[in-house]
Amino acid sequence: MKKIICISCFFFFHQFVTAQSAIDVLHYKFEIGVNDQNDTLKGTATIRFIVKDWKESVSFDLTGVNKEGKGMIVERAGFSDDHFRSSFLQEGDKVRITPATPLKNSDTFSVVINYKGIPSDGLIISKNKHGDRTFFSDNWPDRAHNWIPCKDEPGDKATFEFIVKAPEKYSVISNGKKAEEKISGSFKVSHWKEDIPLPTKVMAIGVATFAVTEYKDSPAGIPVSAWVFPQDSITGFRNYAPAPSILKFFSGYIAPFPYNKLANVQSKTIFGGMENASCIFYDESSATSTRSVESLLAHEIAHQWFGDMATEKSFPHLWLSEGFATYMTHIYIEHKYGTDSMNNEMKADRRQIAAYSKIANRPVVDSISQLMQLLNPNSYQRGGWVLHMLRRQLGDTVFHRIIRSYYEKYKGSNADTRDFEKVAENVSGKNLDTFFNQWLYRPDIPWLKTGWTYSGTEKQIIISVEQVQSTAAFHFPLDIRINAIQGKPAYHSFYINEKKKLFFIPASAKPDSVTIDPFISLLYEEKN
């Protein structure tokens, strides 16, 4: 592995191999230069941070050069204050900077890192579907350090700015607000600033030839725009047009939109959509699709609150981002198209969860090391179902208060599953430990074998409910509908806390049929 070492006259190599300091990054300033002659990026990163626990040196994530020649080479790194004479070491995916004078805890400092190279990932330099050259960041989950020095983890949020120098023909889109744009020779310099602290996973730049429109029905003070390739402007502007109404709905249901704009961008992301804060990137096919992309838009826009503003502390709690966005999308669908439409979505999600549970024995809160593997039905559909069951069990009003309270408490910061549980318990006044433990920390789901008979002698319906999974019994309420031959159906609710239960319902006549879970309120798989 190639190492880059710069040593001042005051240091020897062994002094670099030291324990690392705990820091909190406050602000990033990234100056990025790209060109059309080659894929080499030139960058300068100025990083301001506060020291939490000083231990001789400070390090940042940055991918070094691999055997294919891709990666970043640090040319110079040190403290911006000349008083702190320093040395640096680049090794593997780290840049370590050691000052001559120890730093003090709780003090704020800045470092400057000059680097260049061909990104191996994170900044996708390629051609779009029309053969035109494009540059799009693609940071999730921890791929930002392939092209920018940073603390590449969701728990460390910072404000930031991008100053991008690119050939004059390109436009640049990024998070936040455009502070300045000017022409310098044959290049255009675009300066974007974001004053809300965010994790690296949702920091973004897009450099391409764009057609841009701002929707007239945007909320007051929040321009909602579409940035698409010029060849796709007609369909792209049409496909992204639901964004303003989606934004308005979530602003009312959750909280006011936290950012100063919302740009929806056709891009070269590897995902269907990427929820970069105020600057969402969508797969390039989304702008030309003949099918509605409304649910995709809703999912990524919901992330602006959950995932971007209220962020998981660490990736095992990803459901707080993806599960929330999944269920918020269903709530939007329910609002616009009705409960039946939402229930159809929930049933489809339930089928995916059941199928996944047969091939992957993993819980929702999952410490799996390959982060891309977290993009599975547990994080998305099952996380959404947990919220759905919480809503069904506590009621719409209490659930809505929980969602708003959780966001209000953790906007701009980070939370984990137990933090959300505490909010839910405080709002509802109920102990939800069993609920959270079984649905989020157990890998399985209930397998239910149900049946019923009618006793004319006893004038009663006998309903059997058996959990046939090999693991311990789940505890949950179960709704049942008795479908009469004539007259209105009757509804009953029972609490299941054993592997097998019998329930007896008085009835003067044999019913036409019995329906388990008529309101689509329980995550389970039915076994014949």
Measure the CA–CA gap between 395 and 161, rounded to whole angstroms: 43
- HEC letters along 6-57: ECCCCCCHHHCCCCECEEEEEEEEEEEECCCCCCCEEEEEEEEEEEEECCCE
Average pLDDT over residues 500-515: 94
Would the pLDDT of 10 be above 70?
no
Instruction: Kindly indicate the confidence band of residue 6, based on its pLDDT and cuts at 50, 70 and 90.
Output: very low
Q: What is the pLDDT of residue 19?
A: 57
Whether residue 162 lies inside any domain: the answer is: yes
Q: What is the pLDDT of residue 169?
A: 98
| Backbone dihedral angles phi then psi of residue 445, each to the nearest 5 degrees | -130, 165
Whether residue 304 lies inside any domain: the answer is: no
Cβ-based burial of 409 (10 A; exposed 0-12, middle 13-18, buried ≥19): middle
Of the candidates 240, 264, 294, which is a domain's last residue? 294
Would the pLDDT of 81 be above 90?
no
Whether residue 72 lies inside any domain: the answer is: yes
Whether residue 509 lies inside any domain: the answer is: yes
Instruction: Kindly indicate the confidence band of residue 486, based on its pLDDT and cuts at 50, 70 and 90.
Output: confident
Measure the CA–CA gap between 171 and 189, rounded to whole angstroms: 10
Model pLDDT for residues 358-367, shown as the tens digit of each residue: 999 899 999 9
Average pLDDT over residues 170-181: 98
Q: What is the pLDDT of residue 76?
A: 96
pLDDT-above-70 percentage for the chain: 95
Instruction: Kindly indicate the confidence band of residue 97, based on its pLDDT and cuts at 50, 70 and 90.
Output: very high
Model pLDDT for residues 348-397, shown as the tens digit of each residue: 999 999 999 999 989 999 999 899 999 999 999 999 999 999 999 999 99
Whether residue 305 lies inside any domain: the answer is: no
Q: What is the pLDDT of residue 488?
A: 87
Supply the range of the domain harboring residue 265: 211-294
- 383-394 vs 433-440: helix crossing angle, rounded to 10: 150
Q: What is the pLDDT of residue 105?
A: 96
Instruction: Kindly indicate the confidence band of residue 83, based on its pLDDT and cuts at 50, 70 and 90.
Output: low
Average pLDDT over residues 46-67: 96
Average pLDDT over residues 188-201: 98
State the average pLDDT for the chain: 94
Model pLDDT for residues 320-339, shown as the tens digit of each residue: 999 999 999 999 999 999 99
Contacts of 219 (CB under 8 A, 6+ apart): 244, 247, 248, 251, 257
Average pLDDT over residues 251-271: 97
Q: What's the length of the chain?
A: 528
Which of 15-29, 205-219, 236-250 has the weakest average pLDDT?
Answer: 15-29
Whether residue 300 lies inside any domain: the answer is: no
* Shared-domain flag, residues 238 and 369: no
Tell which phi-psi region holds residue 36, choosing left (phi > 0), alpha (psi between -120 and 50) or beta: alpha
Of the candidates 209, 242, 277, which is a domain's last residue? 209
* Shared-domain flag, residues 200 and 221: no
- Cα Rg of the chain (Å, integer): 27
Q: Give how many domains the chain has, as a whole number.
A: 4
Helix (H) or strand (E) holding 407: helix 396-410
What CATH number should be reported for the domain holding residue 407? 1.10.390.10
Q: What is the pLDDT of residue 20?
A: 67
* Shared-domain flag, residues 274 and 403: no
* Shared-domain flag, residues 284 and 383: no
CA distances from 231 to 134, 191, 408, 430 (A): 14, 26, 41, 55
Instruction: Kindly indicate the confidence band of residue 1, based on its pLDDT and cuts at 50, 70 and 90.
Output: very low
CA distances from 500 to 453, 466, 475, 497 (A): 16, 4, 12, 8
Model pLDDT for residues 130-160, shown as the tens digit of each residue: 999 999 999 999 999 999 999 999 999 999 9
* Shared-domain flag, residues 201 and 215: no
Would the pLDDT of 14 be above 50?
no
Q: What is the pLDDT of residue 498?
A: 97
- Read off the pTM: 0.94
Closest C-alpha among 421, 423, 393, 394 to residue 406? 423
Q: What is the pLDDT of residue 44?
A: 98
Q: What is the pLDDT of residue 85?
A: 82
Model pLDDT for residues 399-413, shown as the tens digit of each residue: 999 999 999 999 999
What CATH number should be reported for the domain holding residue 140? 2.60.40.1730
The DSSP line for 364-382 is SS---S-GGGG-STIIIII
Measure the CA–CA gap between 237 and 284, rounded to whole angstroms: 13
* Shared-domain flag, residues 199 and 228: no
Whether residue 380 lies inside any domain: the answer is: yes
* Shared-domain flag, residues 99 and 157: yes
pLDDT-above-90 percentage for the chain: 92
Whether residue 464 lies inside any domain: the answer is: yes
* Shared-domain flag, residues 205 and 219: no
Of the candidates 184, 209, 234, which is a domain's last residue? 209
Average pLDDT over residues 510-523: 96
* Shared-domain flag, residues 420 and 499: no
Would the pLDDT of 11 be above 80?
no
* Shared-domain flag, residues 284 and 258: yes
Whether the upstream peptide bond of residue 511 has omega within 30° of 0, thus cis, is no
CA distances from 432 to 333, 420, 440, 471 (A): 27, 11, 12, 21
The answer to whether 414 and 406 have CB atoms below 8 angstroms apart is no
What CATH number should be reported for the domain holding residue 479? 2.60.40.1840
Instruction: Kindly indicate the confidence band of residue 101, based on its pLDDT and cuts at 50, 70 and 90.
Output: confident
Q: What is the pLDDT of residue 18?
A: 44
Mode of pairing for the β-strands spanning 71-79 and 460-467: unpaired
* Shared-domain flag, residues 358 and 491: no
Which of 64-73, 243-252, 478-487, 498-507 has the weakest average pLDDT?
Answer: 478-487
* Shared-domain flag, residues 236 and 281: yes
The answer to whether 75 and 145 have CB atoms below 8 angstroms apart is no
